[in-house]
Every structure is written in structure tokens, then in C-alpha cells.
A and B are shown apart, each in its own frame.
Chain A
Amino acid sequence: MKEIVIISGKGGTGKTSITASFAYLSGENTVLADCDVDASDLHLLLKPETISEEDFLSSYLAVIDYNKCRDCGKCFEVCRFKAVSFDNEKFVINSQNCEGCGYCANICPAKAISLKIQNDGKLYISKTRLNKTFFHAELGPGAENSGKLVAKVKKNAKKYARENNLEIMLVDGSPGIGCPVISSLSGANYVVLVTEPTVSGSHDLKRVIELVQKFKIKMGCIINKADINTALADEIKTFLKDQNIELLAELPCDDVFTEAMIAEKTVAEVSSEMSGKLSQAWNEIINSIRG
């Protein structure tokens, strides 16, 4: 089983639209995973039907048992996150600020504070209109631990791929360079970088390449909206060559990306030009991982 992960560094480069197109172009023996859990959009193009769902229990919150609480205020004294306040003659925990460090629970002389695990989101297993199984999730608002949720999505998808002898796991990764991206990359066999020829795009591309190089994973790059700034696109191409990164495709800036979104279809289904370029890119990726 080989894992292909698609990331972008900067948001808004077309990563999810391109992942969806690859999902359409890939053969039957593919499982799909959406690891962009903070704001997952892949499902909007795949029309999944939920097969099962589970709660994502992750962070901890301090909870005071008022039957035991003696109002001594020790919790208030030790909390570094301004999560304990005195309100209405009681000490109360502010759930927005509580980091779940457990200090208050540790020192409460009445043992009135415990840490309760929180439901921070949901994990789904679905079947898409492309007849492929799809693992995705949504993080609750304000939640942390997106890296952990990403790891769970991947673990579930990997298990399914193994059990069903599927050759490819296609992963829509997270934007940025933080924990969720690192979590998306863990175990990948090939990374597709989607970028745009803008100063922000180029700046973030370099940072994300540095990250992937630490993991020693093979990379290929798609330059989207390439005609917005051909000079910068050329600079990026030179940089890719120096870093030994395959240029998989150059796509023109085209409203068809939005039209496809509105039609709830992938770009490859709606535009023959894009389909041609993305098919070529996909074939190069497959040859790379099989070869």
C-alpha cells in the first residue's frame, strides 16, 4: 500500500480541488482520506454517504464537584491560564481558557476537581459517489489537537486499505507547516506540493519543502494559476529543479475550478484541458511510486 499526500503550505492554492480530481482519476483500488480537519472541504465534491461515525475524544477540561468543594481557592491560586474565577459565590472553571493541565486537580485538598475528556469532533467513514471509501473528520470549533485527529483518520484509512488490499491511499493534507501537516506526512511515500506563483505562495512553498525534506519523502509539484506571474513561475521551476523535485503540471488560472465546485464535481470531470494535465501528473506519480 502506498500513501500519496497532497499539501500546499499556503491556503487557497487549489489543493483540495486537485486532490478531488486525483480521486476521480485514480483506479478502483484507492482509499481516500481528508486530513484537512480544521476546515475540511473535500466532501463537498465527493458527496459522501456516511457508513459510520465516531466521536473524537481528545482534550481534557477540569470539572469541579461542588459536593466536595470547600471554596478554599487553591485552584484559583495555581491556575496560570486564568481559567478559574470566583463567580456567584463559587469558584468556576472557564472552559474556553482551561488547558487541561491538571494542576488544580492535583492540588485540590478536597479532591473535588477531576479532568473530563471532551468531545472535540467527529470521525466519519463514508462511501463517495466515485465508489471509493472515504475517511474524514471535522474538528469542533476552538479545539486543539488537530494533529491527533489527523493521525486517527490516517490510521483508520490505512487499516481499511490493508484489510481490503488497496494499493493507494490518497490523502488531502492540511495547509501550513504545523502539527497537522507533520501528522499528515508521517508514513507518506510521495508528497504532492500544490503552489501558486505569488510571493506568499513561493515563501510558504520553501518552508514546506524544508519540512518534507526532513522526512526524506519523494516530492512532486503542481504550479496552479501559473499564468498569474510567469516570471515567478519560472523562478519556482528553477528552484524545483535545484531541489530535485519533479514538476508534475502547470495549470492556468481558470474559473473552471469554481464552476466545478458549484456543480459539485471535480475539475477533471468538467474540463478536458485540466483533465489532460492532471491525468499526466497522476501517471507520473503512479510511475514514481511503483518504479
Chain B
Amino acid sequence: MKIAFTTKGEGWDAVIDPRFGRTEFLVILDEESGKLEAIDNSSVSEHAHGAGPMTAQLIIEKDVQILVTGNGPGGNAERVISTAGIKTFTGAGDMTVKQAYEAYKENRLIS
């Protein structure tokens, strides 16, 4: 499965960004290959309106099935995410990507 994390940086040690739409980076883990892909989301966060749905479309394009984040996506983004059938897990607030992934696997996040 492909899992997207909202982060403040790139790589396994990056700290989770509590926001979704205006998250600074997205780190996408391909569980099959174990590879991480980091995407700079700063151009979306500059938009005054519609940032959430735009970021949502980005992860849909990448065939992501799971989203791990801090506080959770806002209303508009949530509509897009659930329409696309992506499952969201929150509560990863201050964790690193590595810690958040472990928490997800051990069912310690909120779904």
C-alpha cells in the first residue's frame, strides 16, 4: 500500500505536520518497495483558497490509499479524500515519520 504522511521535512526523521491542506511536505511511503518519496507542497500552501482539495488531489494522483497526519484534514479536503476512498489516521502530531508508521502499524493512531 502507499501511505502519505504530512510532514515538515523529508525522510524518515521528518516531524509530522499537524495540518493537511497547507502541510509543508508530503512524504509517501511505498510499503512494497520500502521507498520514500518527498513532495514539496509549499506552492499549494500559498493559495488562499482551496488548498485542502488541491493537496488531496495530489495524493490521489500518487495512488495513495492511507493518509497519516496530526490534526486531520479540514472539511473540503475530507470530502475529496473520502470520495477517493482514502483512509485517514490522525494523532501522529509530534512524531517522526518513522514513529508515525510504527504507531499506524500497531494501531495506536486514531482512525
Give chain A's interface residues, CB within 8 Å of chain B: 145-148, 151-152, 155, 179, 183, 186-187, 216
Contacts and interface: CB of A to CB of B under 8 A. Distances in A.
A145 B22 contact: no
B76 interface: no
Given A155-B42, A216-B71, A186 B48 contact: no
A106 B22 CA distance: 30
B46 A187 contact: no
Given A155-B42, A216-B71, A148 B48 contact: yes
B48 A183 contact: yes
A186 B19 contact: yes
B35 interface: no
Contacts of A148: 46-48
Contacts of B42: 155
Contacts of B19: 186-187
Chain B: interface secondary structure?
loop
Contacts of B46: 148, 151-152, 155
Contacts of B48: 145-148, 151, 179, 183
B7 interface: no
Given A155-B42, A216-B71, A147 B22 contact: no
Given A147-B48, A148-B47, A187-B22, 8 more contacts: A146-B48, A148-B46, A151-B22, A151-B48, A155-B42, A155-B45, A155-B46, A183-B48
B4 to A, nearest CB: 19
A137 to B, nearest CB: 13
B49 interface: yes
A151 B45 contact: yes
26 contacts: A145-B48, A146-B48, A147-B48, A147-B49, A148-B46, A148-B47, A148-B48, A151-B22, A151-B45, A151-B46, A151-B47, A151-B48, A152-B46, A155-B42, A155-B45, A155-B46, A179-B48, A179-B49, A183-B48, A186-B19, A186-B22, A186-B45, A187-B19, A187-B22, A216-B18, A216-B71
Of A147, A187, A216, which is in contact with the most chain B CB atoms at under 10 Å from its CB?
A187
Interface of B: 18-19, 22, 42, 45-49, 71
B47 to A, nearest CB: 6
Contacts of B45: 151, 155, 186
A56 to B, nearest CB: 11
A60 to B, nearest CB: 14
Contacts of B71: 216
Contacts of A179: 48-49
Nearest to A214: B74
A147 B48 CA distance: 5
A148 B22 CA distance: 12
A179 B19 CA distance: 17
Nearest to A152: B46
Of A146, A147, A183, which is in contact with the most chain B CB atoms at under 10 Å from its CB?
A183
A155 B42 CA distance: 8
Contacts of A147: 48-49
Contacts of A216: 18, 71
Of B19, B47, B48, which is in contact with the most chain A CB atoms at under 10 Å from its CB?
B48
Nearest to A150: B48
Contacts of A183: 48
Contacts of B47: 148, 151
B90 to A, nearest CB: 12
Contacts of A152: 46
A186 B45 CA distance: 10
B7 to A, nearest CB: 13
A152 B45 CA distance: 9
Instruction: List 3 A-B pairs, minimum CB-CB distance, nearest first.
Output: A147-B48, A148-B48, A151-B46
